[in-house]
Amino acid sequence: MTVQDDSDTALRGSLYAQVWRWHFYAGLFAAPFLLILAITGAIYLFNDELNDLIYPELRFAASPAASLPPSRLVAAGNAAFVGGEVTRIDLPTEPGRTAQLFVRLPVGQPARRVFVDPATAQVLGSYVYTDTLVGFADVAHGSLLLGDVGDAIVELASCWAVVLIGTGLYLWWPRGRERIDGVLVPRLRTTGRRFWRDLHKVSGLYASALILFLLITGLPWATIWGDRFLRPISDALAIGYPRGDRHNGGARSHLPAATMGAVAGEVPWTLQKLPLPASQAPHTAAGHEEHMAAAIEQPAEALPPGIDLDTAVAILATHGFVEAYRLSLPQGLTGTYTAYTYPAQPEGQRNLHLDRYSGAVLAEAGFGDYGPLARLIEWGVAIHLGNYFGLANQLLMLLTCVFIVLLVATGLVMWWRRRPAGGLGAPRALAPLQLRNAALITLGLSLLFPLAGASLLGVLLIDALLRRIAATTTISEALP
């Protein structure tokens, strides 16, 4: 939120002053949400480390001995929660780690994550994900705990943060000044607004590329920009979903791939909305296909027999799934055994679907099967999450979060110091932008960020209406 003193009268009415006004209002709207995103994002960057520290009794097994068959672990989880059902098992990521079970409970009760010692099948404990620090930060980061409404607010704030970066860099531009003090290096020995302004704009200069990276790599998960803008484009151009999973001619389930995880963020973005393949029910189950929704909910004892979990695991092992993968258990008549890896580096991503009755491979894809856009997104997401190159990646993203907090704090300090008593302290109202310029800016934003473009159009309409009302009031007051 870089600003200039009101003494810059020569710039008043210029494009500079218009950009300043836009920067001010965009910052005033986006600042609180960016602060929330930075703090929750910093927490989630260290999700494994924090969970290990807070829940060591759940995360670490007593002995690194060989694991029991997965069926024993799932049976222990089901027995621990009467009326519940294990829907997924995450096998230990390394020796000495526990297995994690996802247990769906009866309606009205939140799902639980259950931790089991893989060597003894002892249930060590459980928790509701959103009741943990990491879970709270995860959900707050994506939706402010407000569901779809919060998701839209986060997306809108992120889009306007991109506008903030662009306008901030324009305001920073030195315009012929040769000194580096206050342009490339903050004047830390100064006091008052100059100190805060230098700290704000210089830190913004060096952090802008990192912040822009975080914003762009986070937007694919947004409902509007990701699901209704980016996905249709990637699908139409065949640069997103794995080619073999796009149109393989086989039966498909109406359930999305996000069903594999308790939360969408635990499934690669590329696979999140991809419909799952469907198991082919034996002849004894004929007729159920016409009532798919009801069939999905059929109790396990009413379904035809199929391969058991340990057999599915043995088949998966022949296809290279040996350890540290996630396995979703089949749900309903057409459900599949779905195994996937989600390592720190996306090049290792693989997913495979087995028919729950025959054990046949229904679909298989890896990172090499992704389209070019999907690969870019997966690389971006891995770096965004601090996963790709270890601790250095985490610290770099943490530094970016610190920069965001610093920019918000210094911007608010500058605003508060220049704000007149009882007033907003906004930059002085200027002549409206030329219609052509406003139309071009709105069109550009709408093409890149539909939600931001729509909000800008709304702001312009409200601004025009308020100006019209003000002009009408002025005229009526001037009449005798």
pLDDT in tens, 289-348: 454 445 455 555 566 678 999 999 999 999 999 988 999 999 888 899 999 999 999 999
For the segment 178-188, what is each residue's pLDDT rounded down to a tens digit?
567 677 887 87
Per the structure, the count of domains in the chain is: 4
31 and 117 part of one domain: no
How far is residue 72 from each of residues 8, 59, 95, 117, 198, measured CA to CA in Å? 74, 19, 18, 11, 62
Does residue 377 belong to any structural domain of this protein?
A: no
Domain assignment present for residue 105? The answer is yes
Which long-range contacts does 34-37 make (Cβ < 8 Å, 24+ apart)? 34/157, 34/161, 34/404, 34/408, 35/404, 35/405, 35/408, 36/140, 36/141, 36/144, 37/141, 37/154, 37/157, 37/158, 37/404
**Structural domain ending residue among the three candidates 329, 347, 370:** 370
pLDDT of residue 16: 76
Q: Which value, in Å, is the radius of gyration of the alpha carbons in the chain?
A: 27
Do 145 and 185 have their domain in common?
yes
What single-letter amino acid sits at 321?
F
Task: Give the domain-ending residue among 131, 151, 180.
Answer: 131
Q: Which domain holds residue 142?
A: 1-53+138-237+385-422
Residue 427 lies in a domain: no
- 364, β-bridge pairs: 352
Same domain for 317 and 287: yes
Same domain, residue pair 215 and 126:
no
Q: Is residue 378 part of a domain?
A: no
CATH number at residue 73: 3.10.450
Q: What is the pTM of this model?
A: 0.84
Q: How far apart are CA 150 and CA 137, in angstroms?
A: 14
Residues 111 and 209 grouped into a single domain: no
Whether residue 153 sits in one domain with residue 33:
yes
pLDDT in tens, 278-299: 998 775 444 444 544 454 555 5
Residues 35 and 154 in one domain: yes
Residues 231 and 258 in one domain: no
Last-in-domain residue among 131, 146, 178: 131
Query: Which alpha helices (DSSP H) does 330-389 contain, by range?
Result: 372-384
Q: Say yes or no: 264 and 167 in one domain.
A: no
Please, how many CA atoms are within 13 Å of residue 64, restricted to the half-sphere of its CB? 4
328 plus 220 within the same structural domain:
no
Q: What is the pLDDT of residue 437?
A: 62
- What length does the chain have? 480
> Are 417 and 450 part of one and the same domain?
no
- The answer to whether residue 391 sits within a structural domain is yes
Instruction: Give yes or no: residues 250 and 216 share one domain.
Output: no
pLDDT at 384 over 80: yes
